[in-house]
Amino acid sequence: MGKAAKEKTNNLMRGADGDWEVIVGLEVHAQVASKSKLFSGSSTGFGAEPNSHVSLVDAAMPGMLPVINEECVAQAIRTGHGLNAKINPYSVFDRKNYFYPDLPQGYQISQFKQPIVGEGTVTIDVDGETREIGVERLHLEQDAGKSIHDQHPDYSYVDLNRSGVALMEIVSKPDLRSSKEAQVYVAKMRTILRYLGTSDGDMDKGNLRADVNVSVRKPGAELGTRCEIKNVNSIRFIGQAIDVEARRQIGILEDGGQITQETRLFDPAKGETRSMRSKEEAHDYRYFPDPDLLPLEISEDYIASLKQGLPELPDEKQARFVNELGLSAYDASVLIAERENANYFEAVAKGRDGKTAANWVINELFGRLNKEGLDISASPVSADQLGGIVDLISEGTISGKIAKDLFEIVWTEGGDPAEIVEARGMKQVTDTGAIEKTVEDVLAANPEKAEQARAKPNLAGWFVGQVMKASGGKANPKVVNDIVKKKLGV
Amino acid sequence: MTVDDDTVRRIAHLARIKIEDSDVAGLRSELSGILDWVEQLNEVDTDGVEPMTRVAAHKLKKRKDVVTDGEMADVVVKNAPFSEDNYYVVPKVIE
């Protein structure tokens, strides 16, 4: 456990007789981005006809032998680099033995004592606080097939399309102290994997899921007995599962009971976790080295060459946005969460003011995309177009208010922002003569208010608003402000 | 090393092998005999000896990430006792 984790004292959960500390460790299972499976040449494609992406290796026909996919090894190493982890030049594949109909081999090929990646760290930001969460290890393993239980009252249907697809199991240390931290950790892990291109992290397709280990203790006490909640498949459910499981354990302990170490299942509909008793006796997995596979040996040169090819990672990008483009840490964190969003922002910010670009991307564009339920790739406003709008503001050609109208026009009708402004007469009026005339008209129409404003200069703002309104939002607000003050003599 | 009756039953269960009570005593003595025989290896001093993982100096063979197999669902389920629409159909198993 990291030092920071030990010292952590907030985030406590209140029980009937005092506070409890919640301890969480996560095993994230991420599907490796690859064309073919870990040990066979069949496709990893999603949504295929039942048992179509299955070779005789995946179906565990007698005599079939596994041959490792070198790209899956490379992806695991890249991920290790992205987690600042130690890459093990020598690792071993083991058999994890259990029986289930969607596991035709009767064992899963996994890595037990000697995983390909060792200790690393993930940095998370929670409520303005930065914490380092330890990664214990990352290992490669096979996914199982899929059982479908609702097709027939007495039978289950088994599809092996997923069987043998490569997974990375990424095990954290028990450094997380709340459901919120666990959620932020998983989101960050997903971002890192997507930046690296080593997993698409698509939770809707089950390509990223987590086993959640939860225990509770009195602050500063020894670690309590933990329960493992299997296969939680959304960030929201991970948070809910931790909260209800911690509550359940606190209830038992405060009633004088003991926690039994066991595997549990989260039921989102009922908002509870329940024991998976059948898994208990199967817990004796009798791991042993797979005699079909020699140890996996990788050279230091190969490990280093994969590090060379890594893209800029989320933490580096965030730091650059803050240090070089002058963004706030919060804005930077919003922009880097998805690589596509960050790329879009960078295209808008290129050669322009970073803060203005960030405001427009986050507030106007993301706001609108969220409202319409659209992804950045489906944005009707391109980075060039948004950049054009930002240019028109910085040049003083249009006011901020008109810019919002312009954004709306570009969103719905498309077109070049500068041409639209020209064609529709949206240019900001900076002609002081015209503005002076409007100011005089407004002052003449409101003699009492003018009198008050002379006495109380902060009332001048009302006149600025009136003049802006009279100009249809096209007057330059700064110029209006100056002229109003001059005419009022304040 | 000797195994007891419960261990014999547990091993059989984990391996999903059905055994009768009358088989337990015989299996117990056979398993104990095998373990005793293998345990002779403990007499060899292996301090400082690297574990041997292979007889010949082979390296793990690797494949390129190319789809070369699959797309034969009918062949895959051909020997299944029951199948429907190319799914395997098995007795209901649910948590």
Q: Tens digits of per-residue pLDDT, A338-379?
A: 999 999 999 999 999 999 999 999 999 999 999 999 999 999
Residue B82 in contact with partner chain A when CB distance is under 8 A: yes
Q: How confident is the model at residue A4 (pLDDT cuts 50, 70, 90)?
A: very low
pLDDT single digits (tens) A195-226: 999 999 999 999 999 999 999 999 989 999 99
Tell which wins on pLDDT, B54 or A2.
B54
Q: Could you tell me the pLDDT band of residue A461, with boundaries at 50, 70 and 90?
A: confident
Residue B31 lies in a domain: yes
Q: What is the pLDDT of residue A122?
A: 98
pLDDT band at A46 (very low <50, low <70, confident <90, very high): very high
Structural domain span for residue B33 = 5-41
pLDDT at A1: 41
pLDDT bin (cut points 50, 70, 90) of residue A476 is confident
Nearest CB among B66, B72, B89 relative to A36 is that of: B66
At residue B2, the pLDDT reads 82
Q: How many angstroms separate the CA of residue B6 from the nearest CA in chain A?
A: 14
Considering only CB atoms, A101 lies closest to which of B16, B65, B90, namely: B90
A40: which chain B residues are within 8 Å (Cβ-Cβ)? 69-70
Q: What is the mean pLDDT of residues A392-421?
A: 92
Position A347 scores a pLDDT of 96
Confidence of residue A7 (pLDDT cuts 50, 70, 90): very low
- Residue B23 falls inside a structural domain: yes
- Cβ atoms within 10 Å, residue A236: 12
Whether residue B95 and residue A51 make contact (CB cut-off 8 A), yes or no, is: no
Q: Which residues of A fall within a CB distance of 8 Å from B92?
A: 149, 152-156
Question: For residue A282, what pLDDT is reported?
Answer: 54
pLDDT (tens digit per residue) in B45-89: 999 998 887 787 789 999 999 999 999 999 999 999 999 999 999
- pLDDT for the residue A6: 44
Inform me whether the C-beta atom of residue B60 falls under 8 Å from chain A C-beta atoms. yes
Tell me, what's the pLDDT at A490? 79
Of the pLDDT bands very low, low, confident and very high (cuts 50, 70, 90), residue A449 is confident
A70 contacts in chain B (CB < 8 Å):
62-65
Q: Which of A157, A159, A293 to mutate to test the interface with B (most CBs of B within 10 A)?
A: A157
Domains and CATH numbers, chain A: 8-302 (no CATH), 313-423 (no CATH), 432-488 (1.10.10.410)
B66 contacts on A by Cβ (under 8 Å): 35-36, 41
How many CB atoms lie under 10 A from the CB of residue A38? 26
A150: closest chain B residue by CA? B92
Shortest distance, CA A294 to any CA of chain B (angstroms): 5
- Contact at CB, A158 and B69, closer than 8 angstroms: no
Chain A closest-CA separation from residue B45 CA (Å): 22
Across residues A12-32, what is the average pLDDT? 93
Which pLDDT band, with edges at 50, 70 and 90, does A5 fall under?
A: very low
Contact A172, A178 (CB under 8 A): no
Minimal C-alpha gap between A57 and chain B (Å): 9
Q: Is B45 an interface residue toward A (CB < 8 Å)?
A: no
Q: In chain A, helix, strand, coil percent, each to 5?
A: 40, 20, 35
Q: Is the pLDDT of residue A242 over 60?
A: yes
Strand partners, A288: A95
Q: Check CB contact of B6 with chain A, cutoff 8 Å.
A: no
Residue of chain B minimizing CA distance to A67: B62
CATH number, residue B25: 1.10.20
Q: Do B95 and A70 touch (CB under 8 A)?
A: no
For residue A109, give both structure tokens.
């090929």
* Shortest Cα distance, chain A CAs vs residue B37, angstroms: 20
In a domain, B70, yes or no: no
What is the count of residue pairs from A and B with beta carbons less than 8 Å apart?
136
In a domain, B32, yes or no: yes
Instruction: Search chain A and give the residue with CA nearest B72.
Output: A52
Residue B47, in any domain of the structure = no
Question: What value does the mean pLDDT take over residues B34-48?
Answer: 94
Residue A158 confidence (pLDDT) above 90: yes
Give me the residue from A54, A69, A265 closest to B63, CB to CB.
A69
Residue A2 has pLDDT above 60, yes or no: no
Is B36 within a domain? yes
Least Cα separation, residue B12 to chain A (angstroms): 13
pTM equals 0.87
A96 Cβ contact list (under 8 Å, min separation 6): A107, A108, A109, A110, A112, A141, A285, A287
| pLDDT class of A278 with cuts at 50, 70, 90 | low
Q: Nearest Cβ partner of B86 from A42, A50, A73? A: A50
Question: Can you give the pLDDT at residue A279?
Answer: 56
CA distance B86 to A157: 9
Residue B58 resides in a domain: no
Quick one: average pLDDT of B31-45?
94
The CA-atom distances, in angstroms, between A403 and each of A13, A48, A308, A406, A428 are: 47, 47, 43, 5, 10
Average pLDDT of A230-238?
A: 95
**In this prediction, what percent of chain A has a pLDDT beyond 90?**
77
Residue B78 within a domain: no
Residues of A in contact with B64 (CB under 8 A): 69-71
CA-to-CA distance for A398 and A50, rounded, in angstroms?
A: 58
Least confident of A161-165, A427-431, B16-20: A427-431
Count of domains observed in chain B:
1
Give the lowest-confidence range in A17-26, A97-106, A253-262, A281-290: A281-290
Residue B62 and residue A36: Cβ atoms within 8 Å?
no
Beta-carbon contacts of A273 under 8 Å, excluding residues fewer than 6 positions away, are A227, A229, A241, A244, A245, A248, A264, A265, A266, A267
